[in-house]
Chain A
Amino acid sequence: MSRARAEQQPAATGATLVVMVGLGIAFLLFMAFLNVVKSGNLLNESNLLYAALIFYAGAGALYLGFGVTGTESYVRFASLATWAGLAANTAAVAHRWYEAGHPPFASIYEMLLSFVWTLAVLTLVAEKKFGVRVIGTVTMPVAIVGVVLMQLLRTDVHPLVPALQSTWLHVHVTLAMLAYAACALSFALALMFLIQDKMRNESFLAFTSLFSMGVYLGILTRFENWGDLSVIAWNAQEKSEMFLQRGVRLLVIIPDLGWLMLLVLLVVSAPFVLYLAGRLRKDEALYTVANRAVFVSILMQVMALLVFLLRARGGQYPSLDAEGLYPTSLAASPFILSGLVGAIFASLLYLLLLWRRPDLERLLPSAEVLDRITYKTICIAFPLLTLMIAAGAYWANRTWGSYWSWDPKETWAAITWLVYAGYLHMRVTRGWRGRRAAYFAILGFVVVMFTFFGVTYLLPGLHAYA
């Protein structure tokens, strides 16, 4: 009898989660509906986005539940929630398009709107077409972060500045979105390949730790005054960044945040250092210590995020470049925020891998299949990248008078193209398969992320729009 009960238990908890998520969605929608009825404006964009957020959050919870327990029914409901979220998201995109009179690519807000939409579509495609069902565990949280970020950003419809009034812009940006989404997919698939290829947990540990180190190093480029962190000042009325002069942003310094970030950098690099020591000394025991260090690093990262949220959410801070105190807001630092959240998320994924590896291996397609799909995805991404660069060059030729001006974004797009060209050459002429190809695919996506975020955040250039 007791054995039968033990076997029933997973099914019971499975239903519990579905019911809980369903009730949660229903409750939130009902509350939102009451609010909307009061204001009398049902189908506006923020309501649609809110609905999308609720559904995506539900889907994310269910996908995560699936990732952890492997309960089949979760995926079915998660897909349903994703479909519902996608419907709301599509309506929001359509509404935006109709209101603005141009496809939603003109501001960071509109780009995020389209990005989240693409992500949801790709999730469903990967799930239905390729049978990669855990993908939602990764993509849905990203979509949620995207929708939350959107709430912080300026949402009113900007008229397009003259340089952006071109059909080629839409072609260029659509292609970029598709290409980058395909690259992201190939990255996720390459990671799954590495799991199926029996790569050791310690290697994933090193990757995770390196990623977090990269994030904190990036944040620390804003390290000022031996212990402060500078962020962009934010004008709350205008919902826009403040400028010192044309093209030069006004930075304010938040005292002591720099020290904290430095400290967290040290903590997140601890697992990597321990891993290296373990490798050099061939001491497996150090890996166990490294895994414990991941827990500590997650706690520290959450703390860093909380402190950042508290300090950068509002308040008046001095600036190094101008007299007086200036306000800032979370919306002024979307990259830092997404970096912090992303690093925590990566560490949590590592924990998921550490605890649930056998389940994951059972759920994922075989290594051979993943290897092939990764290659196919890049075969789609590469021509898209090529066309994206060509469309961008044509547009630049009509606007700036030159098809190629070695602007950082252009140069990095070319570097991305070269990296993927390298991948294809190695695969076709050298027969690179398996792990080396997967590393290459991961490298490609790192370069893509740098082109997308790093160049905007760290390097100056003409692509000031996005």
Chain B
Amino acid sequence: MSAKLLRVTGLTKRFGTFHAVNDVSFEVAEGSIHSIIGPNGAGKTTLFRLLTGVHAPTSGSVVFEDGPIAGKRPYTIARKGLVQSFQMTSIFPRLTALESIAAVIVTRSGRSADLLTRFHRAVESEARELLESVGLGAEAETEARTLSHGDQRALDIALALATHPKLLLLDEPTSGMSPAETRKTTQLVVELARSSGLTVLFSEHDMDVVFEISERVTVLHQGRVIAEGTVAEVQSNPEVMAVYLGEGPVLEAVAN
């Protein structure tokens, strides 16, 4: 059994009387591709925010690589290797793709105070390699804001990858994408996980994507986990179907 990179236990986030995330527990195995699904308002975004430190939990724990991270500052968590790529692309508009990646590499290697040296060939070549791996090799000198939507998402993922994360969080990576772009992105994610042993945790609406690449799926509904397992297990789970079809009580009655 592979090591559990991320262990979430009883995680709860309350805003006033509203429980956005309610007693959520799951584990993510190292090197796996794990997805979180659920209808709108299920709490996926809040869950991710809890994991990355944007919110502090009301209760519960998050253990990453055997170290607790719940409630820590975002950059502390990022430094430990848990990095998110954002749903609303958050890039550096006026920097070229190459410069954007280089900026992250520089930061990662602690050289951001370096005032006088010019660019290391090493930084540049690593940046170019990374861009190649996300399919942006040709766009290295292009200003980020002039890239297509899909390319910007790829750049966003590349920025996250440049930090050499151990766990990559993707919040709805294919939203707003054309089928071709979706294809490209999913292939990319799979390749990354397979080739570099990167652990990926992502949330998605596109069920095709989920079922195609996930090894395990956790289903949220109204802040709670209602199902967890392999794709097949989740697909045949009546409660999950009910939640998605919206015919909860009726279907349950029928199933009983």
A and B form one complex: no
What residues of chain A have their CB less than 8 Å away from a CB belonging to chain B? none
Residues of chain B touching chain A, judged by Cβ–Cβ distance below 8 Å, are none
